[in-house]
A = this chain, B = another copy of it.
Amino acid sequence: MHNFEYFNNVKFIFGKDTVTKVGELVAAQGKKVLLHYGGGSIKKSGLYDTIMKSLKESSLEVVELGGVVSNPRLSKVYEGIEVCKAEKIDFILAVGGGSVIDSAKAIAAGVHYDGDVWDLYIGEGNVESTVPLGTILTIPAAGSEVSPNTIITKEEGQLKRGFSHISLRPVFSILNPELTFTLPEYQTTCGMVDMLAHTFERYFTTVRFVEVTDRMSEGLMKSIINIAPKLIADPNNYELRAEIMWAGTIAHNGLLGTGRIEDWASHMIEHEVSGIYDIAHGAGLSIVFPAWMKYVYKNDMPRFAQWANRVFDIEINTFNLEETILKGINALERFYQSINMPIRLTDASIDIERIEEMADKATNNGAGTVGSFVELTRDDIVNIYKLAE
């Protein structure tokens, strides 16, 4: 196990009838709140009214900024920063999924930053202080409700980049599984693919002996895979929604990465796809991950065979681990297909014309590598895209 530090001070309020606590939670942090959200769905569902009522009851001033889209845009972040400065906002409440929360974090980081907030996303600036934020999660997927991470897309050049700062962990996150009943099936499944991917990125590590987090990660993966088809068949089942919602947070709370070297190559390879083609991140991941696995499994066959066995119940052929592994990857692909997710670029109507461009962007024109399980060069990434063709 590697040395590590672990600190995660997000307060979670989980369950039914929890949104009404938001006013009290915000009031403990500030007086004037930016309510940040996406489209009109929170107004249609009545969630907006519940939130506003609670905020008003706690005598909070509210300024609104909606309109966040998936693969959230830098232009909206700039708008949010200006609003926060003009209105002297002292707390940001993000209501939505990962896109809204990531956008809120970008705004939180940019308000006190003396320069272009995009600097932070390209590693050219430092954050001194941020505006505190809280979340009401409506899409279990990205884990942004627990993480210190934010990913933003700059429209010019279709660049999708991430940034992380410890002060960007939400002060609180309210998770009410009932809010996810009305999620379209596609968003539900994309979310499950994403949380599974967060577990993979930590599971496939070069650190040899990490049995406790291995087995706990396998338990999480198995749960998501087991619950997914049941949830699709029964989307208003509170118990299933609750398991998946909490699974999304656990997958990204950092605990399952402790003592390990994490990878994140597949996420970076995917970001170039969704950055250009604007497909859902989850859909990009179900395409990229099997291809990445096929490309790298030979670097640690015992680990991949263990995964195939413990997560997909593939019997281990001790004479031929490769057979076991390929059955495992195949089982993953069949799982993705069973929940109607794409597993090839062509399934998502993406032609491969821009593969070279995407590999260039992922590696700073070939100057860098991505990942740590295997350090992938530009050419490796081209090969992975081809495997996903």
Q: What separation, in Å, do the CA atoms of A255 and B254 have in the docked complex?
A: 12
- A348 close to chain B: CB less than 8 A: no
Check: A354 CB closer than 8 A to any chain B CB.
no
A82 on interface, CB distance cutoff 8 Å: no
Asked whether A209 is an interface residue with its Cβ less than 8 Å from the other chain, the reply is yes
- Cross-chain contact B209 with A239 (CB below 8 angstroms): yes
Shortest distance between the CB of A373 and any CB in chain B (Å): 19
A318 CA to B218 CA, complexed, in Å: 25
State A224–B259 Cα separation when bound (angstroms).
17
In the complex, chain B residues whose CB is within 8 Å of the CB of A217: 219
The 9 residue pairs across chains A and B that have the minimum distance between CB atoms: A3-B15, A215-B219, A9-B9, A1-B242, A7-B11, A219-B219, A209-B239, A216-B219, A6-B12
* B7 adjacent to A211 (CB under 8 Å): no
B-side contacts of A5, CB under 8 Å: 11-14
- Residues of chain A whose beta carbon lies under 8 Å from any beta carbon of chain B: 1-18, 177, 208-212, 214-220, 222-224, 226-227, 239-240, 242-243, 246-247, 250, 255, 258-259
Q: Smallest CB-CB separation from A217: which chain B residue?
A: B219
- Of listed A5, A17, A240, residue having the most chain B CB within 10 A: A5
Q: B6 touching A9 by the CB < 8 A rule? A: no
C-alpha gap A2/B14 in the complex (Å): 8
Beyond contacts A211-B223, A216-B250: 15 other A-B pairs, Cβ-Cβ < 8 A, are A1-B243, A3-B16, A6-B12, A7-B9, A7-B12, A8-B9, A14-B259, A208-B239, A209-B239, A209-B240, A209-B243, A212-B250, A215-B219, A216-B220, A217-B219
Instruction: A224 to B216: give the CA distance in the assembly, Å.
Output: 12
A255 touches which of B2, B215, B255 (Cβ 8 Å) = B255
Select A8's contact among B8, B18, B214, B218, beta carbons within 8 Å: B8
Q: How far is the CA of A85 from the CA of B210 in the complex (A)?
A: 44
- CB-based contact B215/A242 at 8 Å: no
Assess whether A15 is in contact with B4, with CB atoms less than 8 Å apart: yes
Q: How far is the CA of A220 from the CA of B256 in the complex (A)?
A: 12
CB-contact partner of A14 in B6, B17, B216, B239, under 8 A? B6
Kindly name the residue among A7, A212, A246, A259 whose own CB sees the greatest number of chain B CB atoms within 10 A: A212
- Give the complex CA separation of A6 and B245 in angstroms: 14
| Nearest-CB residue, chain B, relative to A17 | B3
Determine the distance from Cα of A3 to Cα of B242 in the docked complex, in whole angstroms: 10
A4 to B247, CA, bound (A): 15
Assess whether A246 is in contact with B212, with CB atoms less than 8 Å apart: yes
Point out the residues of chain B lying under 8 angstroms from A240, CB to CB: 209
* 30 A-B pairs whose Cβ atoms sit less than 8 Å apart in the complex: A1-B14, A1-B15, A1-B239, A1-B242, A3-B14, A4-B12, A5-B11, A5-B12, A6-B12, A7-B10, A8-B8, A9-B9, A14-B258, A14-B259, A15-B259, A208-B239, A210-B243, A211-B223, A211-B226, A211-B243, A212-B224, A212-B246, A212-B247, A214-B223, A215-B219, A215-B223, A216-B216, A216-B250, A218-B219, A246-B258
Question: Do A215 and B220 touch across chains, with their CB atoms under 8 A apart?
Answer: yes
Looking at the complex, which one of B177, B226, B255 makes contact with A250 (CB distance below 8 Å)?
B255
Contacts of A17 in B (CB 8 A): 3
**How many Å from the CB of A145 to the closest CB on chain B?**
12
Max chain B Cβ within 10 angstroms of own Cβ: one of A2, A13, A216: A216
